[in-house]
Amino acid sequence: MPLLHVDGLVKHYGDVQALKGVDFQVDPGEMVAVIGPSGSGKTTLIRCINRLIEPTDGRITFDGQSMRDLTGPELRAARARMGMIFQHYNLVSRLSVLENVLHGRLGYKSTLAGMFGFYDHDEKTKAIEILTLLGLEDFVYRRSDQLSGGQKQRVGIARALVQDPSVILCDEPISSLDPNSSKVIMDYLKKIQHEFGMTLFVNLHQVDVAKKYADRILGFNQGNLVFDGPPSDLDAETTYAIYGAEAGDLIIE
């Protein structure tokens, strides 16, 4: 049974149709990469899945639940099981690394507990264990604005993991990073997939990175899903169907 099933997903922004009847499913433990040129619908897709953006039409089923039917506490509980990693990290600069990671537990807290930062011993221990796994054990109490971009993104990964998610949604997690830091982040995401059996849904600009790390690739062009298959099937012709004239500038291995 798929963990995530998207059926006929449509999103309009006024007269612009960002997603045009998209259908796919994601199985537990898969790493799925989403590629396509800017404006192809990748970010809209990922934000419709967890309803940070409201879809116009279609169905999103996550772990047997219809996301579009959920409201209030039920929607909050479903979102708590969807970790999110952002392009620009979304950390609170003045807070420590540990405090930022513990924000991943807010979906399980009352409003009062979240407001005053009430986290128990087990939550703090788990956060430190995850930071250690990600090579950040020496930065636990450092302010997040003192970190490099790659370190900040690892904090973002830790914040997602501490949620105990069923899936982690990654919106361009390496587009703000240099090549070396990008490789570190993708290696950690692959490690998490293998060691935790984690399902990962990753928006990427880089075709070569998608081919190296993903089990499956979804290719979008102008809101249409034009490719769904293994990296081995993503040849030059298919890449042209996704990127058009931009395809000639991309690395195809």
Report if residue 184 sits inside a domain: no
Report if residue 190 sits inside a domain: no
Report if residue 11 sits inside a domain: yes
For residue 58, what is the enclosing H or E element?
Answer: strand 57-62
55/57 Cα distance (integer angstroms): 6
Report if residue 37 sits inside a domain: yes
- Give the number of domains in the chain: 2
Local structure of 252: helix, strand or coil: coil
CATH number at residue 28: 3.40.50.300
Domain boundaries, position 44: 1-81+166-176+198-253
226/198 Cα distance (integer angstroms): 26
- Give the pLDDT of the chain (253 residues) as one tens digit per residue: 899 999 999 999 999 999 999 999 999 999 999 999 989 999 999 999 999 999 999 999 999 999 999 999 899 999 999 999 998 899 999 999 999 999 998 877 666 555 656 788 999 999 999 999 999 999 999 999 999 999 999 999 999 999 999 999 999 999 989 999 999 999 999 999 999 999 999 999 899 999 999 999 999 999 999 999 999 999 988 998 899 856 555 544 4
What is the reported pTM?
A: 0.91
Are 172 and 253 found together in one domain? yes
27/46 Cα distance (integer angstroms): 16
Report if residue 192 sits inside a domain: no
Report if residue 245 sits inside a domain: yes
Helices 121-133 and 149-161, interaxial angle, to 10°?
Answer: 140
Are 58 and 171 found together in one domain? yes
